[in-house]
Amino acid sequence: MDEKLALRILSISIYNSAMTQSPRRATPADQANPVAIEPLIAFSDVHVGFDEGDVLRGISFEVWPGETKILLGETGTGKTLIMKLGAGLLRADSGRIWVMGHELSEMHEQELLAFRRHLGFVFQEGALFDSITVAENVGFRLREENLPDAKIEARVREVLRFVELESTYDMFPGDLSGGMRRRVSIARALADRPPMVFYDSPTAGLDPVTSQTIITLIMRGRDLQDVTSLIATHRVQDAFGLANYRFDEASGRVMHLNGNSQQAAQQQGNSHRTTPTNVLVLREGQIYFEGAADDLLHTSDEYLKKFLASAE
């Protein structure tokens, strides 16, 4: 069986056994398709507050296997908080969060540490270790798993090639530009083929051209490697870029999807179909919009229209 499919089924079966209350019961139709029985992430009525007041006020959403979910919101709306909650780096004040079969509030620190090893993270700051080489950064987790050196090197080279940075193998993060460091972070997040990747504001602080490179890379992960992801961004362009384009393996190019992007992709009938890409808009601690990018584009809501118009 395909290694990735096996991992997903495994994670889903852990999910079922670990869950005290499923956010949604599996139906017979789901059982015919074992990959999509349960979401990889489910937030249910999550609240988080600080002294200054509540920041998240009842957040509920799901990310399904194969889905790319874009968390769109202005700066300070709580995107990073949601990423940290999903990674188990922060506990919710109330509500429940399931990630890959685990209800996070029921896990101890030690379990959370082990759990995080199965996820990929690209955090806003990049968070590379400056004192070790690019290759050592990218292979960090593989080394923790005690893989043989030759296997680690092969995989590190492969994933660096994927982000088009194999030439930086022996360099140090300090020698790279901001955009290159971000690409190395993506290579590191993908190194051990996690079923789920969190991208926190992957284009923040980058110029528009470099931002586009990063979005194309995330698109390639989605379209060529079926990476499921939750992506936080304040850039409207990031959401529409991911929703309206797909990476075509045969031509090695980014292609526009006309009309309903998901249907169009499915009609292509190639094995690397584009996975569903959906958008959440955060506003004042709640999910203000949830749906396809096309529906967001045609909204008649005044706040959303203003937000869309703010795109640089």
Ligand X SMILES: Nc1ncnc2c1ncn2[C@@H]1O[C@H](COP(=O)(O)OP(=O)(O)O)[C@@H](O)[C@H]1O
Structure token digits, residue 156? 């590190």
Residue 55 interacts with ligand X (CB under 6 A): yes or no: yes
Q: Which does 65 bind (CB under 5 to 8 A by kind): ligand X, Mg ion, none?
A: none
Residue 30 beta carbon to ligand X: minimum distance, rounded to whole angstroms: 33
Closest-CA residue to 96 (of 41, 137, 143): 41
Closest-CA residue to 124 (of 74, 163, 181): 181
- End-to-end distance of the chain based on CA atoms, in angstroms? 45
**Residue 129 and residue 141: Cα distance in Å, rounded?**
13
| Residues of span 141-160 touching Mg ion by CB under 5 A | none
Q: Is the dihedral of CA 288, 291, 296, 298 positive or negative?
A: negative
Residue 186 beta carbon to ligand X: minimum distance, rounded to whole angstroms: 19
Buried b (16+ CB within 10 A) or exposed e, 65-78: bbbbbbbbbeeebb
The smaller minimum CB distance to ligand X, of residues 78 and 194, is found at: 78
Residue 75 interacts with ligand X (CB under 6 A): yes or no: yes
Convert residues 22-51 into a mask of x (bound to ligand X by CB under 6 A) and - (unbound). ----------------------------x-
Q: Which does 285 bind (CB under 5 to 8 A by kind): ligand X, Mg ion, none?
A: none
Q: Which residue is nearest to Mg ion (CB)?
A: 80
The smaller minimum CB distance to ligand X, of residues 73 and 195, is found at: 73
- Using an 8 Å Cβ cutoff, are 204 and 174 in contact? no
**Which listed range, 70-78, 140-148, 215-223, 241-249, lies at the site for ligand X (CB under 6 A)?**
70-78
| Residues of span 73-112 touching Mg ion by CB under 5 A | 79-80
Residue 53 interacts with ligand X (CB under 6 A): yes or no: no
- Using an 8 Å Cβ cutoff, are 203 and 238 in contact? yes
List residues binding Mg ion (CB under 5 A): 79-80
Residues that bind ligand X (CB under 6 A): 50, 55, 73, 75-81
